[in-house]
Structure formats: C-alpha cells, structure tokens
Amino acid sequence: MHKWMQIAYNEALSGMNRNDGGPFGAVIVKDGKIIATAHNTVLKSSDPTAHAEVNAIRKASEILGTFDLSGCILYTTCMPCPMCLGAIFWARIQNVYYGANENDAARGGFDDKAFYEMLQNRESALALQQIDHKENAELFTIWNQKSDRKMY
C-alpha cells in the first residue's frame, strides 16, 4: 500500500476498533511531510460532521494557522462524501487520493452514494424552501461595502 494511504488505513482501522466511528481515515501531506492524520469520530463526538476528511482539514488548518490548504495533498481511505468534497473545495486542496468508492461504502451501510444522488436534485431530496430573499440578499451588498472584508 502507498505509504501515506497505509497511515490513513491504520487510522480507519483504529478508529473503528475504538468505536469512534465508521471505517474511514485520512492524512494531509504537504511538501512530503504529514500535517495531520484523522479518522471518523461521528459516534465518539456525536457530531455528524466529524468525518475523517473534515477532521483532518480542521486539524491541518489549526496547525498551519490558515483556512487555505492549497499545496496540501489529501489521502483518504474512501471517496469523499459530498460534505467532505465540499470541505476539500473550500480548503483549496487540489490533489486527493482515495481508496474505496461509494459502492464499497454502501455495502457497509453508508449513504455517500445516496447523498451524491440527492445532491443532483436538492429540491426533491428535502423540503428546501426560500423565504425572505430580499433582506438576505442584501447581506451581500453590506458585505461588498465592508472596507476591511477578507475573502476565503
């Protein structure tokens, strides 16, 4: 196994054995060095967002002191779910190596594949209703007028 993927795999295995969460592990590497390793802790932390990739991104951001992880490479034992892929986009990570895929995850009872399909058709996937559009749209006008705004 690839040396960084082996570490992600070991994270997945130890997290599952400790009942921290499902069998998912991730490693973030930059300039040939590990910045962060993490596994899924949804069960341990009762936090539905505590996937391996999100945990690794949060750790790496804290360690590097920035929300911008461009130049980092992510190794993850399974294809990132829509939430994690979104987190990868926001973190500006451009290179991702994954092991298992959504079909493997589905075999373990995980909804990654179903959620990718739901995302294609948001409006029918859940009750998603727009209200108070005008006032909320104006928040971006206020934002654009803010002299000290910092983009991310």
The catalytic residues are 53
Task: Report the nearest approach of a copy of itself to the CB of residue 138 (Å).
Answer: 8
- Of 19, 121, 124, 147, which lies in the binding site for a copy of itself, with binding defined by CB under 8 A? 19
The pair of structure tokens assigned to 126 is: 């859940």
Q: How far is CA 27 from CA 75, 78, 115, 116, in A?
A: 5, 12, 23, 23
Contact in structure between 76 and 95 (CB atoms under 8 Å): no
Tell me, by CB under 8 A, how many residues bind a copy of itself: 86
Nearest partner of 81 among 115, 124, 125, judged by Cα: 115
DSSP secondary structure letter of residue 48: T
Our finding on whether 21 is near a copy of itself (CB under 8 A) is: yes
Distance between CA atoms of 41 and 49, rounded to whole angstroms?
Answer: 9
Name the phi and psi angles at 136, rounded to 5: -70, -35
Our finding on whether 28 is near a copy of itself (CB under 8 A) is: no
- Of 7, 42, 52, 72, which lies in the binding site for a copy of itself, with binding defined by CB under 8 A? 42
Amino acid found at 82: P
Site string for a copy of itself, 89-128 (x = CB under 8 A): xxxxxxxxxxxxx--xx-xxx-x---x--xxx-x--xxxx
- Report the residue number, 1 or 34, with the smaller CB distance to a copy of itself: 1
Our finding on whether 58 is near a copy of itself (CB under 8 A) is: yes
Task: Report the nearest approach of a copy of itself to the CB of residue 55 (Å).
Answer: 9
H or E segment and range at residue 146: none
Our finding on whether 147 is near a copy of itself (CB under 8 A) is: no
Our finding on whether 33 is near a copy of itself (CB under 8 A) is: no
